[in-house]
């Protein structure tokens, strides 16, 4: 009996063959039995064998759609193998993430770069932590990126400017810090840019105004300071502009009144100065909501024509 036990113990191939039929979560537990088990059960060969066998036989306790192997923290081998074996041709990934353990902190894995055909990535409200990895910015086919309502920190990678096919970018409701990188100006297909409720700071980069297809720009509730760039008038397709609850200063540039497609304009709770009103404001005849309260304007004059606009909500006190 001892001879058989020793033969099993010293045979990595036999150990790998036996344990490869177990759900991956179970193999994580067996690794703790001994250093030698840990060595056998963390080899690249075993990882691929384990994933292939479990997914092919559809083990009841193992569901790739909910176990989210790609996002297992501290399990880079499983994450990388899973993405290469099963996700390399994926075009859309919408995951509802659940931690395997309460102590695990889910992060966007570096192995995500293997999903090079991905066009739609939606990981909103998934409890993701850590920084946005540079590897995410290699997915140059991406058109829709939604990381809204997580716990992401750190800066927006400069490399995000490589995602030139992006049409929708949701990064709101996180704790992302640092400046808005000027490379965002490369994303000329963007129609929606949502960065609200973060800790972004620095000036509004003029390159942001290169986004000629942009329809909705949400930057409210950050720490952005400095003037509104005069280039803002280039965003001719803009329907929604929300820069409220920042630290913007100076006068509203006259070019802003060129945004004749605006339906919602909010500059509330900044440090803007100067005079508001006159002929420029009357050009925004499509407005439904305008909010300028909480600034330092010398005067705000409501044009008489505005009283003839149905459904207009005006707030400047």
Residue 75's Cα: distance from chain center in Å?
Answer: 22
Confidence of residue 180 (pLDDT cuts 50, 70, 90): very high
Residue 203 shares a structural domain with residue 310: yes
Residue 131 shares a structural domain with residue 190: yes
The answer to the question of residue 73 being in a domain is: no
pLDDT of residue 216: 98
Q: Per mean pLDDT, which of 15-19, 92-96, 115-119 is the most reliable? A: 115-119
pLDDT of residue 63: 40
* CA count, 13 A, side-chain hemisphere, 245: 11
Our count of domains for the chain comes to 2
Residue 137 shares a structural domain with residue 263: yes
Residue 212 shares a structural domain with residue 277: yes
The answer to the question of residue 16 being in a domain is: yes
What would the pLDDT profile of 55-79 be if each residue is shown by its tens digit? 654 443 334 443 466 565 555 566 5
What would the pLDDT profile of 41-59 be if each residue is shown by its tens digit? 666 666 666 566 666 544 4
Residue 28 shares a structural domain with residue 151: no
Q: Is the pLDDT of residue 6 over 50?
A: no
What would the pLDDT profile of 207-261 be if each residue is shown by its tens digit? 999 999 999 999 999 999 999 999 999 999 999 999 999 999 999 999 999 999 9
Residue 96's Cα: distance from chain center in Å?
Answer: 15
The answer to the question of residue 76 being in a domain is: no
Domain hosting residue 24, numbered range:
1-62
Residue 69's Cα: distance from chain center in Å?
Answer: 20
**Which of 166, 247, 243 shows the shortest CA–CA distance to 211?**
166
- C-beta atoms surrounding 5 within 10 Å: 9
């Amino acid at each position: 009996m001892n001879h058989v036990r020793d033969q099993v113990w010293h045979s990595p191939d036999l150990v790998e063959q036996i344990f490869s039929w177990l759900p991956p979560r179970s193999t994580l537990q067996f690794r703790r039995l001994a250093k030698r088990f840990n060595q056998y059960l963390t080899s690249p060969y075993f990882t691929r064998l384990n994933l292939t066998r479990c997914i092919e036989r559809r083990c009841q306790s193992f569901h790739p759609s909910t176990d989210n192997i790609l996002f297992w923290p501290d399990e880079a081998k499983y994450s990388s193998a899973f993405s290469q074996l099963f996700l390399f041709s994926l075009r859309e990934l919408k995951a509802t993430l659940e931690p395997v353990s309460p102590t695990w902190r889910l992060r966007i894995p570096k192995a995500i770069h293997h999903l090079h055909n991905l066009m739609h990535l939606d990981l909103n409200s998934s409890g993701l932590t850590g920084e946005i990895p540079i590897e995410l910015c290699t997915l140059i086919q991406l058109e829709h990126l939604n990381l809204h309502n997580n716990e992401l920190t750190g800066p927006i990678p400069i490399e995000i400017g490589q995602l030139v096919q992006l049409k929708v970018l949701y990064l709101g409701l996180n704790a992302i810090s640092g400046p808005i990188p000027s490379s965002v100006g490369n994303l000329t297909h963007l129609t929606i840019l949502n960065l609200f409720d973060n800790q972004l700071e620095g000036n509004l980069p003029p390159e942001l105004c290169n986004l000629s297809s942009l329809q909705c720009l949400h930057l409210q509730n950050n720490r952005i300071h400095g003037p509104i760039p005069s280039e803002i008038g280039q965003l001719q397709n803009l329907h929604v502009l929300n820069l409220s609850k920042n630290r913007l200063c100076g006068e509203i540039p006259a070019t802003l009144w060129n945004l004749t497609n605006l339906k919602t304009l909010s500059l509330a709770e900044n440090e803007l100065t100067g005079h508001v009103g006159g002929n420029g404001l009357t050009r925004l005849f499509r407005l439904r909501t305008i909010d300028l309260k909480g600034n330092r304007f010398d005067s705000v004059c409501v044009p008489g024509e505005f009283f003839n606009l149905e459904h207009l909500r005006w707030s400047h006190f």
